[in-house]
């Protein structure tokens, strides 16, 4: 008989900090192979279709960038929250509100055209997301409510609000009663980066810029230091004179603004109008992205690309093998599970203990002596 024991390391292991995402990814692959085998599919072929085919052509890389952009933007914002030990689970709602508020310009003023339209929409999107994130922040700062619950519940409010808008007041009058708004005019569409080779739009550039800026904020600036201190030792933060309530607003509104920017970029770039559903769960998948990227904005860029691949792979296995694209959710879930599990190795090492060891033989004798 053997048993496993976790032994705390005196210091966090740099090696496992770096390795943990890769171990998690490997474990996900193994578990995925078992999953495919149980579904009656050759795992090797399934992986070929899931992970390789979606990125085998240039236009597909554009699709990858389209999917990765919102994940990275949201994940980068969430990383600031989580570093501050503030648990914003409602990025999906902030994403939707960003999409709605940003879209208000082309939907309500379809005649308004010109170079001002797009910047205004992006700004409105950020303001919408930030304002929506300010609600759980206010509730936490004022009433000490649990932000996990309030931010999560506001996601459903946002989803239903969008649904009501596109079926009700904002429905396209010439749209044959389909639940959608009018198509945005050309100046309200986020341009494509390289139209010759694929659909990827400026949203991906926004994501990269946001990642670099937040990385500078967190690692080089006093504000980032404040985030890290308050997140890791709140009492030391109070001693430093940092206000925890100010931090709650800062972290929520920053991540809300980035989620809102992702929302309006998605609507004006990839979709071109508002529909009842504008996100395949980006706001939740971005939580995985944030942790897979070690809460480091640059790591989050890589993690966002990996997660984007799971979406594309899900679509690919659905069309090629007839497996439900829900398999993508399963992969995302397993990935988060293994990432969080492997993080244990950073602070603990695993020790195998044989029950036949002499240490435990002597224990019963001593107990008799008592």
Partner 1 sequence: MSANQDDANLLEVRGLTKTFGTLTACDHIDLTVAKGEIHALLGENGAGKSTLVKMLFGTLEPNSGEIFWNGQAVTITNPGFAKKLGIGMVFQHFSLFEALTAAENIALSLDDGSPISTIAAKARALSYSYGLPLDPQSLVGDLSVGERQRIEIIRCLLQTPQLIILDEPTSVLTPQEADKLFETLERLRSEGKSILYISHRLEEVKRICDRATVLRHGKVVGHCNPRKETAASLARMMVGNDVQAVVRAPAQGIETAQPLLEIRALSRKPATPFSIPLRNINLTVRAGEVIGIAGVAGNGQGEFFESVSGEVPQQDAASVRIRGKDAGGLSITGRRLMGAAFVPEERLGHGAAPRMKLSENLLLSRHATDGKVFVGAGGMVKSDAIYAAAQRIIKAMDVRKSAPDPEAAALSGGNLQKFIVGRELDRRPSVMVVNQPTWGVDAGAAAHIRQTLIELARSGSAVLVISQDLDELFEISDAIAVMHNGELSKPLPIAEATFERIGLLMGGAEPGHAEHALETS
Q: Which residues of this chain interact with partner 1, rule CB under 8 A? A: 5, 10-12, 220-223, 225, 228-229, 232-233, 235-241, 353, 357-360, 362-363, 366-367, 370
Structure tokens at 82: 């989580």
Among residues 26 and 240, whose Cβ is nearest to partner 1? 240
Among residues 350 and 353, whose Cβ is nearest to partner 1? 353
Among residues 9 and 326, whose Cβ is nearest to partner 1? 9
Among residues 33 and 244, whose Cβ is nearest to partner 1? 244
CB of 148 to partner 1, least distance (A): 18
CB of 368 to partner 1, least distance (A): 12
Structure tokens at 216: 């500078």
Q: Which residues does 163 contact at the CB level (< 8 Å), separation at least 6?
A: 179, 276
Exposed / middle / buried, residue 110 (Cβ in 10 Å: 0-12, 13-18, 19+): middle
Neighbour tally for 48: CB within 10 Å: 14
* Residue-wise DSSP of 79-138: HHHHHTT-----HHHHHHHHHHHHHHHHHH-TT--STTHHHHHHHHHHHHHHHHHHHHHH
Among residues 54 and 237, whose Cβ is nearest to partner 1? 237
CB of 1 to partner 1, least distance (A): 16
CA distance 69 to 202: 9
CB of 301 to partner 1, least distance (A): 22
CB of 257 to partner 1, least distance (A): 18
Q: Any bridge partners for residue 354, and if so which?
A: 2
CB of 294 to partner 1, least distance (A): 15
Q: Residues 292-328, buried b or exposed e (16+ Cβ, 10 A)?
A: bbbbbbbbbbbbbbbbbbbbbbbbbbbeebebeeebb
Among residues 114 and 241, whose Cβ is nearest to partner 1? 241
């Amino acid at each position: 008989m053997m048993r496993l024991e976790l032994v705390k390391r005196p210091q966090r292991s740099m090696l496992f900090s770096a390795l943990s995402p890769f171990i998690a990814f490997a474990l996900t692959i193994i578990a995925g192979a078992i999953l495919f085998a149980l579904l009656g599919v050759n795992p090797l072929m399934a992986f070929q279709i899931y992970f390789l085919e979606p990125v085998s052509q240039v236009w597909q890389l554009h699709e990858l960038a389209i999917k990765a952009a919102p994940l990275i933007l949201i994940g980068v914002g969430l990383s600031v929250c989580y570093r501050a030990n503030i648990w914003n689970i409602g990025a999906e709602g902030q994403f939707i509100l960003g999409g709605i508020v940003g879209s208000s310009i082309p939907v309500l003023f379809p005649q308004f055209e010109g170079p001002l339209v797009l910047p205004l929409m992006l700004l409105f999107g950020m303001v919408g997301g930030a304002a929506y994130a300010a609600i759980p922040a206010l509730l936490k700062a004022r009433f000490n409510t649990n932000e996990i619950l309030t931010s999560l519940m506001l996601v459903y409010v946002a989803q239903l609000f969008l649904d009501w808008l596109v079926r009700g007041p904002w429905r396209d009058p010439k749209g044959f009663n389909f639940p959608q708004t009018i198509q945005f005019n050309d100046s309200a569409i986020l341009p494509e980066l390289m139209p010759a080779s694929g659909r990827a739009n400026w949203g991906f550039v926004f994501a990269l810029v946001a990642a670099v800026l937040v990385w500078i904020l967190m690692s080089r600036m006093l504000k980032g230091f404040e985030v890290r201190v308050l997140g890791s030792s709140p009492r030391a933060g109070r001693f430093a004179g940092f206000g925890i309530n100010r931090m709650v607003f800062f972290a929520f509104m920053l991540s809300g603004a980035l989620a809102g920017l992702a929302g309006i970029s998605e609507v004006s770039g990839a979709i071109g109008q508002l529909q009842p559903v504008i996100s395949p769960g980006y706001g939740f998948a971005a939580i995985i992205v944030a942790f897979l990227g070690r809460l480091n904005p640059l790591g989050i860029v890589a993690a966002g690309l990996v997660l984007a691949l799971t979406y594309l792979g899900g679509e690919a296995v659905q069309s090629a093998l007839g497996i439900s694209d829900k398999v993508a959710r399963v992969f995302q879930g397993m990935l988060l599970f293994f990432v969080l599990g492997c993080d244990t190795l950073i602070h603990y090492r695993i020790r195998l203990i044989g029950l036949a060891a002499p240490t435990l033989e002597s224990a019963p004798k001593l107990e008799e002596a008592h």
